[in-house]
Amino acid sequence: MNQPTFRAPKGTFDLVPPRGEAVLAVRDAMAGPVRRAGYGYVETPSFEETGLFARGVGESTDIVTKEMYSFTTRGGDDVSLRPEGTAPVLRAALENGLHRGALPVKLWYGGSYYRYERPQKGRFRHFSQVGAEVLGTEDPAVDAELIVLAMDAYRALGLTEVRVLINSLGSSESRPAYRDALQQFLRGLDLDEDTASRVEINPLRVLDDKRPDVQKALADAPLVTDFLSDGDRAHHDRVRRLLTDAGVPYDDDPRLVRGLDYYTRTLFEFVHDGLGSQSAVGGGGRYDGLSELLGGPRLPSVGWALGAERTLLAMEAEGLPLPGTPGVDVYLVPLGDDAERHAFGLVTELRRAGVAADVATGGRGLKGAMKAADRSGARYAVVVGERDLADGVAQVKDLRSGEQEPVALGDVRSHLITATSS
C-alpha cells in the first residue's frame, strides 16, 4: 500500500469525523452561554504584527521568546501567527473604535492558534479555542460573570470534574512591593542562568516554571495575596462572594500565575485532574493596563480562553460520549433510474425543510443501501423502486421498530417532517 507523500506538520493534527464533529460541538457549547449573555462575535486575522504580541503578551514570556511562528512577508512586514486571542481582539476593538461607544463592550470569538511547543498529549503547535472578553469596566461582577459562563459551558458538556482556581495578582497599588519582595527571595536561590535573568525582567515568570526542582525551591516564596492593597483585596473578595452566590465552587490558589504578562488583579484557571500534567482546560483574568500598552486609552478589561481539544480530552477522561456525532434522520434508498430522480428531488426538499437527510448513490442494491442507512444513524429509511413509483407510493421504514408502511408519494415529505419533529 502506498504511503501518503505529505503529512500534517509535526505537532499538528487533522480533525476528521467523528472527532471533527465532536470538537465543533464543544466549540458550540462553549459559545452558547456567552451568546445568551449578549456577547457579540468578533473575528481577527490569523496573523498580526509581531510587535503586537511582543508588547502585549510580554517580551520575556516563553510565548514571545520561544514559541511564536514569526516571519517576514514579501513586503517586508514582520508578522506572527497568533499565539493567543486577547491582544488581537483588543487591537481590533481599538482600531474599529468599539471603545468609543457604550461600555462595557462584550465580545466572543473562536479559531485556531499557534505555538511552537514540544508536542505532547494535550499540548500541540496548532490548537483551537473559544474566547470571551469584556472591555471597559473594573466591576468585579464581570470577572465573576465570565467564570460562571465558562463553568456553565463545561456543565452543558456533561463535565463534572472541572475545578476553578482563582487568585489575585493585584494592581499597580500592590505589585511594586510584591515584586521587590519576590525578587529579593529569588536572588537568594541557586537558579540557572536563564531563570535568573527572568528574576530581573519579570519575576512572576519564575513562579510559572513547572519544573519540579524549581517548584520545590519556590515553596517559601512570598505570596502576592499578602501584599494586596485594600482596594485589590475588596475586588478579590467581591469576586469570591459572587461566585459563591452563583453556586460555583472555587479553590483559592495564591501561587497561581499564567504565562502572559498583561494580567492584573483577578486570575483564574479551569483544571481537570484527569489530564495529568496538562491539567488546564482554560483560563483567563483581568488585564487593566493592556490597552495603554497597545497605545490606546485606559480600558480596564477581563477575559478568558477555553481550549476545545483539551476539553474533549477531559470529556474522554470522564467517560462521556463524543458530542455532535454526525448523522441523518432520513435515508433514501432509490432502486432504478426514475427512482433516483424522484429521490434526489425529495432529499432536496427535506433538507430545505430542515430535515437531516441523505440518499444512496452509485446504484447500490437494496441490501447495500440498507446497510448504509444503518451506518448513517437514520431513524427512517425510504425505499422507492420502479413498482413503488407505478403504484404512487414509497416504503417508509422505522429503523428502530422495524415497522414499514407505504406512504403516498405526494405525502412523503410532510409525513417525514412530522415524524422527525416528534
Per-residue pLDDT of 160-176, as tens digits, reads: 999 999 999 999 888 88
pLDDT at 259 over 70: no
Whether residue 360 contacts residue 369, with contact meaning beta carbons closer than 8 Å, is answered with yes
The domain made up of 330-421 has a fold known as: Rossmann fold (3.40.50)
Q: Is 86 annotated as a binding residue?
A: yes
> Mean pLDDT throughout 141-158?
97
Q: Which amino acid is at 418?
A: T
Q: Is 91 annotated as a binding residue?
A: no
> Mean pLDDT throughout 213-236?
91
Q: Is 129 annotated as a binding residue?
A: yes
Q: What percent of the chain has pLDDT over 70?
A: 99
DSSP-H helix ranges across 139-249: 140-156, 175-187, 193-201, 204-207, 212-217, 230-245
Q: Is 258 annotated as a binding residue?
A: yes
CATH label, 19-174+228-317, candidates 3.90.600.10, 3.40.50.300, 3.30.930.10, 3.90.1150.10:
3.30.930.10
| Torsion over CA: 402, 404, 409, 411 (sign) | negative
Closest CA to 305 of 256, 259, 273: 259
Which residue ranges make up each domain of the chain?
19-174+228-317, 330-421
> Mean pLDDT throughout 200-213?
82
* Residue 301: per-residue pLDDT: 97
* Residue 339: per-residue pLDDT: 92
Q: Which residue has the cell 468585579?
A: 140
Query: Does the pTM of the predicted model rise above 0.85?
Result: yes
User: Exposed (0-12), middle (13-18) or buried (19+): which is 413, by Cβ within 10 Å?
Assistant: middle
pLDDT at 313 over 80: yes
* Residue 324: per-residue pLDDT: 82
Q: Which amino acid is at 96?
A: N
Domains 19-174+228-317 and 330-421 share a fold: no
Confidence of residue 219 (pLDDT cuts 50, 70, 90): confident
Q: For 390-412, what is each residue's pLDDT tens digit?
A: 999 999 999 999 999 999 999 99
Q: What angle do CA 63, 64, 66 make, to 5 degrees?
A: 70
Strands 301-307 and 126-135: antiparallel
Directed axis angle between helix 19-36 and helix 308-317, to 10°?
110
Q: Is 115 annotated as a binding residue?
A: yes
Whether residue 146 contacts residue 284, with contact meaning beta carbons closer than 8 Å, is answered with yes
| Torsion over CA: 133, 139, 142, 148 (sign) | positive
